[in-house]
Amino acid sequence: MRLFDVYPLFNIEIVRGKGCHVWDSEGNEYLDLYGGHAVISVGHSHPAYIQAITDQVNKLGFYSNSVINSLQQKLADKLGAACGYEDYALFLINSGAEANENALKLASFHNGKKKVIAFKHAFHGRTSAAVRVTDNPKIIAPVNEGLEVTYLPLNDTEAVEAELRKGDVSSVIIEGIQGVGGIQQPTDDFLRQLRNLCTKYDACLILDEIQSGYGRSGKFFAHQYAGIKPDLITVAKGIANGFPMGGVLISPVFKPVYGMLGTTFGGNHLACAAAIAVLDIMRQERLIENAAKVGAYLLDELHKLPGIKEVRGRGLMIGVEFEESIKEARTRLLYEEKVFTGVAGTNTFRLLPPLCLSMEEAAEFLRRFRKVLQA
């Protein structure tokens, strides 16, 4: 059997990782400014993370959601304390798309409405409703087209109000910082207006913090810079440092009903053990503060590089846009300077390193980046 060929691959096999470094099958070491697409939060192969998963799998890897799994409550307690949403409830699933899928459903169950407002260049995942609210017609299949969605420009309050005024909008879904869209940020003021408008017109505000959350922005959630509280918050990626997991944080106004949501694998013992270890490590090693500090340094220094059009982002979620295509520079950075980075479109580097990136590693990245740009 061959693999279904949907990914353009680099000719590199990564076989080992430690902190912010990974090694390929030939023994080459790379600096990881990509974090496996914003997934590695506490660093590769953190000893406490390995220990937690090992201990758990030695006891029990999985049992179903038909019996008590106290690890889920332990995770909810720690997550509530870490992000300041102690009064919210947690529903656990296995991926970001599923988190958004469930958030969109919860909103619609709650207010009985059908339409969704999403934003231009948004990415929310590839399952049925999540892909429908993603602004990319190439990945929306005819079978996904049923859900009614209006895509509006980011930061356009008037356009949002004009749409909400029609009275049929169930939810507004927005990324804390757009990732795939190229590190585009809603302004703090726009988020505050969105919060007020959703309340005024009885629509649910869903904050997709799948990429921008879990400390990446320098606060637990990127929307916390705006001081707002969404109705639903979706998380995944960094939550379990690579173990597949997603979650929806649900405001107390939503009332659960047996059977309204469900999953086989979501919140399983191993995933919970991994996610608990992540929160413990983040607290002990002050990784959110680190993301803020190292991110501020990088943002400052990146502005000084040649050929830059714009540097955007917060914490360790950074977009570096150039006037020209970055294709060659990114390839050279990877193969010659041994640095993994992400991209958005043709001209923007996306930096999404593990949150433990040190000042020395950031400086080393800048040194290698400069070398490629000056060549």
Ligand X SMILES: Cc1ncc(COP(=O)(O)O)c(C=O)c1O
Binding test (CB under 6 A) with ligand X, winner from 46, 113, 121, 124 = 124
Residues 200-229 binding ligand X (CB under 6 A) are 208, 210-211
User: Is residue 96 near ligand X by the rule CB under 6 A?
Assistant: yes
- How near is the Cβ of 69 to ligand X at its closest, in Å? 22
Residue with tokens 């080459």: 28
Q: Are 222 and 20 spatial neighbours (Cβ–Cβ below 8 Å)?
A: no
Residues 300-329 that bind ligand X (CB under 6 A): none
Q: Which stretch binds ligand X (CB under 6 A): 93-101, 163-171, 255-263, 283-291?
A: 93-101
Is residue 125 a contact point for ligand X (CB under 6 A)? yes
91 versus 123: smaller Cβ distance to ligand X: 123
**Which residue of this chain has its Cβ atom nearest to ligand X in the complex?**
96
Nearer Cβ to ligand X (17/125)? 125
Q: Give the residue ranges of DSSP H helices in the chain.
A: 35-38, 47-59, 70-83, 96-111, 128-132, 157-164, 188-200, 269-284, 287-302, 327-335, 359-374
Shortest distance in whole angstroms from residue 208 CB to ligand X: 5
The angle subtended at Cα 365 by Cα 361 and Cα 369, nearest 5°, is 175
Kindly report the number of other CB atoms within 10 A of residue 135's CB atom.
18
Q: Which stretch binds ligand X (CB under 6 A): 23-31, 174-182, 252-260, 296-304?
A: 174-182
Nearer to ligand X by Cβ, of 349 and 369: the residue is 349
Task: Indicate the residue among 9 and 67 with the shorter CB distance to ligand X.
Answer: 9
Pick one of 88, 119, 123, 221: the residue that binds ligand X (CB under 6 A): 123
CA angle 301/303/304 to nearest 5° reads 70
The one segment of 9-17, 79-87, 95-103, 252-260 that binds ligand X by CB under 6 A: 95-103
Distance, CA of 303 to CA of 208 (rounded, Å): 28
How far CA 368 is from CA of 302, 303, 339, 348, in Å, comes to 12, 16, 8, 17
* 150 makes contact with ligand X (CB under 6 A): no
Separation between Cα atoms, residue 32 and residue 6, nearest integer Å = 23
Helix, strand, coil shares of the chain as percentages rounded to 5?
Answer: 40, 20, 40
Edge-to-edge strand ranges of the sheet holding 21-24? 14-18, 21-24, 29-32, 339-340
Q: Which residues inside 33-52 make contact with ligand X, applying CB under 6 A?
A: none
Total residues at the site for ligand X (CB under 6 A)? 14
User: CB under 6 A: which stretch of 85-93, 117-125, 339-347, 355-363 binds ligand X?
Assistant: 117-125
Binding window for ligand X (CB under 6 A); candidates: 8-16, 92-100, 189-197, 298-306: 92-100
Query: Which positions ≥6 away from 229 have C-beta within 8 Å?
Result: 85, 195, 251
* Binder of ligand X out of 35, 36, 179, 342 (CB under 6 A): 179
Site for ligand X in 233-292 (CB under 6 A): 236
Tell me the residue ranges of DSSP E strands in 100-187: 115-119, 149-152, 169-175
> Residues 95, 130: contact at Cβ < 8 Å?
no
CB of 103 to ligand X, least distance (A): 11
The residue among 179 and 319 lying less far from ligand X, judged by its C-beta, is 179
Query: Least distance in Å: CB of 28 to ligand X?
Result: 26
Interatomic CA distance for residues 255 and 224, integer angstroms: 24
Closer Cβ to ligand X, 37 or 309, answer by number: 37
Positive or negative: CA dihedral 95, 74, 108, 224: negative
Name the residues that contact ligand X, by CB under 6 A.
95-97, 100, 123-125, 175, 179-180, 208, 210-211, 236
